[in-house]
Structure formats: C-alpha cells, structure tokens
Chains A and B, each alone.
Chain A
Amino acid sequence: MSIDTTPAPRERIDTTTPALDVRGLKKVYTGHGRDVEAVRNLTFTIRSGELVCIVGPSGAGKTTLLRCISGLLDVTDGEVVLDGKKVTEPPPGMAVVFQEYGRSLFPWLTVRQNIELPLKEKGLKKAERAEKVQTAIDAVGLTDSADAHPWQLSGGMQQRVAIARAVAYEPSVLLMDEPFAAVDAQTRADLEDLVRDLWHKFKVTVLFVTHDIDEAVYLGERVLVLSHRPTVILEDVKITLPDERSQLETRSTKEFADLRHHVYEQIQKAKQGFRPDGDTA
C-alpha cells in the first residue's frame, strides 16, 4: 500500500454541512395479514466527513433503516435527505456494503470487474476506471487477487472486495450494514482498521451499522444507540477517543472502557423497558 496512489483529497472534512439528514423516519412493513413496525421514529443528522456508528440489538431495524436511507425501500413516514436532496430512489452519491457480502458480489465477474462495473455505469472513461479500480484494490490489500473470482476468496477477502467497490465509486456517503458480523475475530479487527484507514484516506462520510458495542465504540466518532423495536434513538454518544486508534492500545484504555460501559448501560436500560419517548414497547 503506497501513499502516492491515493487520489487527491476531494475536500477537507467539513463538520458543519449535513451530508445526511434523517427526519422522523418511520417504517411499517405491511402485508401477510400483519403489520410490523420496524422503525418508529428516527431523527438524526450526519455531517459531511463524519464516521458514525449505529448500534442496536438484532431485529432493531438497522437493516430496515439503511434500506430506507439508501432509497431501496419506501418509508412510511418522515424523510431522508442526502446532500440537500430528498431520497426517493437510490441516489447517485451513495454506496452500500451489504450484510450478506458474499451474495452481493457478482460471481460471474472477477474482483476487478466487480469493482469496475458501477464505474462503467457511472460513465467513466476506461483509463479513469482502471486507475480508480487499481487504487481501491491496492487500498484494501487485494493487489494479488485482482483477477480472481469472488468465490475463490475467503469471507474476509470478499468483504474487502465489496468495500473496495464502494470506495472506488467515490460516494459522498458510504453505508455499511453489519459488514463484519460473519468474519472471524482476527479478520474483523483488520477490517475495522481498514475502514478507519479508508475513511481517513478517502474523506468519505461513513454510516456504519453494527450490533457489536465494542466495534461501534472503537470505530465511530459518534455512536447512535438504538432501542428495541419499535425503534427510536436512545442516545447520541460522542466518542472522545483519539483519532489514531489501534486495536491493542485503544481497546485497553480507560476511556474506551468507560464509553463501552456507558453504551452497554443504555442498551441494558432499554432491555428493561426504558424508552425516551415515554412509551412502553
């Protein structure tokens, strides 16, 4: 991974303009004779260049939320605004890394072709595509596997391909849905560092969804804590850890332990029925 392959930074982190605005988002699944209120009322703002984690238990509606934000799912109420435009279909400036990474790659294409296809669709010229693809491949450490097919790679490597594809697309907002839930602990630690690394390098706004409290605290600049279903935001925790993080050092600091403890407590409280909106679920 050499530094000079990094493209020129598009802009400095701008912490004042909102990149993503979610207002009063509500999603009720209807059909099959019963309604499921997956998300009740979510309001939050992510500023340009932030790395925000959303943590919530399984079934809290995290995937539902991301699908609404990415325009893949219609909202029941409220709205999502990306770069000042209301989202009604998948918007141009957004890339999603799905939970089921293995299934989101096209098995009939090589790693390189997988990453290149969205760029082709965007209308980039061949030379430009080749350069961006190579940069992304190098950045996620897949230089040697560029011409393999996804099914020839391990789970962690497949996830790297999905991430490289998203990064090469140069989205203004990158959404990640529990991307590391299915990889082993060591790979997971590496990929977490990769995400922070790419965030630094490509100055992209990241919304990272996870059910893992440690992961959320370790990665994020902010952590939004979700309640159980029907889902609301319990707390918006600012993560005061230093910018340079390391698996070994950061995770053993007192600050990390305190933050982790705090988030954990919120989730415990939620489990016992506490809701900020006063209702009982």
Chain B
Amino acid sequence: MTTAATTAPERRRRRLSGSNFALGAIGLFSIGALLEILPRIGVMDRRFFPPSSEILTMLLRQLGEPGFWTAVGQTMRGWAIGLTIAMVAGVLAGVVIGSIPVLREFTASTIEFLRPIPSVALIPLVVLLYGTKIQSALILIVYAAFWQILVQVLYGVADVDPVVRDTARSYRFSRWTQFKQVVWPTALPYVVTGFRLAAAVALILEVTAELVIGVPGLGRNLGIAQSSGAVTLTYALVVAIGIIGIIINLFARYIERRVLRWHPSVRRDVAA
C-alpha cells in the first residue's frame, strides 16, 4: 500500500545511492588518482593544478590551525541561523497560506514572481545595509531557503487524502486536531524535503556571501587564499567546503529518516 505516490522518485534515488556506494567510492578514488598523476607528468600545469596529495596534505595541516576552525564555526553558525529562520518562517507561512484557500489564490502569483529572483541579486542591497556583517549572509540565506520550504509546505498541506479528510470530519475532529493529526503528518514529508533542499541552498549562499561580500568564514579565507596566490590552500579550502556540504546533506537525510519512519519512502512494507 502506498499512501503518497509523490515521493516515489525519492525512494528510487535512495536505493541507487545505497547499493552503489562502493562504486561511488571507487569513482572518487580514481579521480583523485588521476588528479595526482596528470599534474606530475605535466599534462596539467602544476602552478594551477597541484597534485591531489599536496592538496590533501595542506588540508590536513589546516585541520591543526585554530584559525581554520574559527572560520568553520563562522560558516556553520551563519548556515544554521539562516536555515532556522527560513524554516520557521517558511513553515508558518506555508501552513497559514495553504490552509486558507483565498489566501492561497491571493498569494500565488506573488510567490511565482518573487521565487525565481536569485538571492545573489540582493547582494548590492545587503552590502549597502549591513556591509560584511553576518546579517548580509543571513538575508541572502533566508531569501533563498524560504521559497524552497514555502513551496514544499504548500504542496504538503494540499496533499491531504480526501478519504482521510472525510474520516477526520466524520469523527468530528476539531480544526486543531485535524491540523495536528491529519494536515501536519501529511505535510511532514514535504517539510523535510524542503528542509533538505534549503540546507544545501543555505550553505551555498553562506559561502557566496563570505566569498563575494567578505562576511567572515571559510569563503572569505578562500577568497584571500586565491587573491594572494596560495593555490594549494585555495584547493584545500574548496575541498573543506565540499566536505561540509556532504556532511550537511547526510545530516539532512538522517533527520529525514528519523522523522518519517512511518512514511513509504523510508519504511519497508511487511505485507502487500
């Protein structure tokens, strides 16, 4: 029995990433090896493409520097605060708009207009307002992540099965119970998907704000390394940011699985 067919593609993706884990590791290792060999035999220019072992060594050295960890902390803090604000605002707005049909119609075109504006287009504005303060990054993150969450929550709230709705009505559930016991559990898979998408977007915008505006964090260090010609350090920081991205994604998936234990995309059906 499948209650929510909408998450079918997600299920497929999960299975793929699970069974092909070994293959993925081999692929990653091969590329690493290639990027080690090509600069060494001169096919790639060593000045711009240091061998991967040098990048790795540099990264390991960075792990011993307190300054590196400060930057990691700054990046993660901006990411977490921005994501939290976007989550709370997106879920609240989505639930309210989604539950009131008139409001939904009323806001539909506004949302469609505002949503495609890339968050980075706000950079000139936030620089004027806050310069290199953390608020600059937060505004960019919240703007980008908010839409991801809002749209998912709107879909989720609209996805209540008519039979479930009738069941709730026939047992005379109050409006609050209908929300708590029916609408919210139905919307939850969408909320969590929104969270996962927003978590990734939030990191991108945090690093962008650091790199472009100069908000403190790994991105700013990356910009400084690049402009001072520290090529290997530049690459090492890129790898570090990539690893943070992977960790954030794993974290989001872990949350997803915890929250949706009963859900078709996570659960295993026992009987047909």
Contact = CB atoms under 8 A, between A and B. Distances in A.
B171 A118 contact: yes
Interface residues of B, number: 26
A208 B3 CA distance: 26
Contacts of A149: 262, 267
Given A92-B172, A96-B170, A151-B3, A117 B181 contact: yes
B169 A103 contact: no
A106 B170 contact: no
A157 to B, nearest CB: 8
A90 B267 CA distance: 34
B264 interface: yes
Interface stretch (B52-60, B119-127, B160-168): B160-168
B141 interface: no
A152 B185 CA distance: 18
Contact of A102 (B1, B188, B264): B1
Interface in B220-250: none
A104 B164 contact: yes
A70 interface: yes
B262 A121 contact: no
B264 A121 contact: no
A95, A98, A103, most chain B CB atoms within 10 A: A103
A70 B170 contact: yes
Nearest to A94: B170
A158 B3 CA distance: 13
Contacts of B263: 107-108
B20 interface: no
Contact of B167 (A98, A151, A152): A98
Given A106-B164, A107-B262, A108-B262, A152 B170 contact: no
Contact of A90 (B1, B164, B169, B177): B169
A278 to B, nearest CB: 36
Interface in B165-216: 166-167, 169-174, 177, 181-182, 185, 188
A106 B173 contact: no
Interface in A89-127: 90, 92, 94-96, 98, 100, 102-104, 106-109, 117-118, 121-122
A142 to B, nearest CB: 13
A106 B182 contact: yes
A95 B170 contact: yes
B174 to A, nearest CB: 7
A114 to B, nearest CB: 10
Contacts of A154: 271-272
Given A98-B163, A149-B262, A108 B185 contact: yes
Contacts of B65: none
A16 B57 CA distance: 91
Contacts of B269: 151-152
A96 B169 CA distance: 10
A270 interface: no
B260 to A, nearest CB: 9
A90 B262 CA distance: 29
Given A72-B170, A149-B262, A149-B267, 5 more contacts: A71-B170, A94-B170, A103-B3, A109-B181, A117-B181
Interface of B: 1, 3, 161, 163-164, 166-167, 169-174, 177, 181-182, 185, 188, 262-264, 267, 269-272
22 contacts: A67-B166, A72-B170, A98-B167, A100-B163, A102-B3, A103-B3, A106-B164, A107-B264, A108-B185, A109-B181, A117-B173, A121-B171, A121-B177, A122-B172, A149-B262, A149-B267, A150-B1, A151-B3, A151-B262, A152-B271, A158-B1, A169-B171
Closest 4 CB pairs of A and B: A118-B171, A103-B163, A152-B270, A108-B185
